[in-house]
Amino acid sequence: MIAPSEILNANILIVDDQEANVMLLEQMLANGGYTRVSSTTDPFAVCALHREHHYDLILLDLQMPGMSGFDVLAALKPIEPDGYVPVLVVTAQPNHKLHALQAGARDFVSKPFELVEVETRIRNMLEVRLLYKKLDLYNQQLEHTVLERTEQLRASEARFQRYAELSSDWYWEQDADGTLSHWSGPVEELVGIGGAVDGGGWDPAQRALLQENIAERRPFLDLIYSRTLPGGAIQYLQVSGEPMFDGASRFIGFRGIGRDVTAMLTAPALQH
């Protein structure tokens, strides 16, 4: 909603080559409580004034010597990047009304002035214009917030990946089709994602459980599995993983970390 004080504090420009018309509109707006009203009788000055002051409403006479109101409308369009030219045209020619609206004016009032009509159209147009500006500001703030949150999310993801890499021997991410997308360390060899897996030495039940967790998109923590190396030694691997989802709760892949825990599990203290 637009408060009455916002409407009365709107920035208004009156453009008319007839000083009497300017004075009449100025007096009417002053009586209505409007506090920021300026005027000019020079249509050639309108564009420069609008660039400087960004008027919420321009009351524009159509019939002026040298530069008509239609010419002013055409000159104002490039100044408004969103195409919204806040112009209320003033005309004594009924056939000019449709032409003015097609040229970009938002509304019109007729000469001679019916003050109640003029006041109503001005108030209505200012309310729409100020709501439009509020919406535009809100959209800009929303876009800024989205960009800010996206950057924070990227930074958080980068920190997560870095922490994961520091606390493990390998880290991996795979897409929804199971293809490796990011990784560090011997993931293909030890986890068997994205490349051929050495068929010898794996404990079949443990290996099947690991692959089942990934295929079923189940999170798992500190799963230990083993394999027998060519020399006969047993290698123990510990792995944790979780599925990844986007903002719409769609599955987009899996990620996990792992490390070689052979030394920890085969230390002398653990053998007794």
Q: What's the pLDDT tens digit per position in 107-152? A: 888 777 788 888 888 998 898 888 888 887 788 888 888 888 888 7
Asked if omega into 43 is within 30° of 0 (cis), the reply is no
Q: Give start and end residues of each alpha helix (H) in the chain.
A: 4-8, 19-31, 46-53, 69-76, 96-102, 115-166, 187-190, 204-215, 262-265
Name the residue ranges covered by the structural domains of the chain. 4-135, 167-270
pLDDT of residue 164: 58
What CATH number was assigned to the domain covering residues 4-135? 3.40.50.2300
> What whole-number distance in Å separates Cα of residue 19 and Cα of residue 102?
28
pLDDT for residue 234 is more than 60: yes
Answer yes or no: are the C-beta atoms of 103 and 70 closer than 8 Å.
yes
pLDDT of residue 116: 85
Range of weakest confidence among 23-32, 84-93, 123-132, 174-183: 84-93
pTM above 0.75, yes or no: no
> What whole-number distance in Å separates Cα of residue 234 and Cα of residue 161?
29
pLDDT in tens, 208-232: 888 888 888 899 888 888 888 888 8
pLDDT for residue 199 is more than 60: no
CATH 3.90.245.10 is held by the domain 167-270: no
Report which of 226, 223, 246 is spatially closest to residue 234, judged by C-alpha positions: 226
> What whole-number distance in Å separates Cα of residue 109 and Cα of residue 116?
11
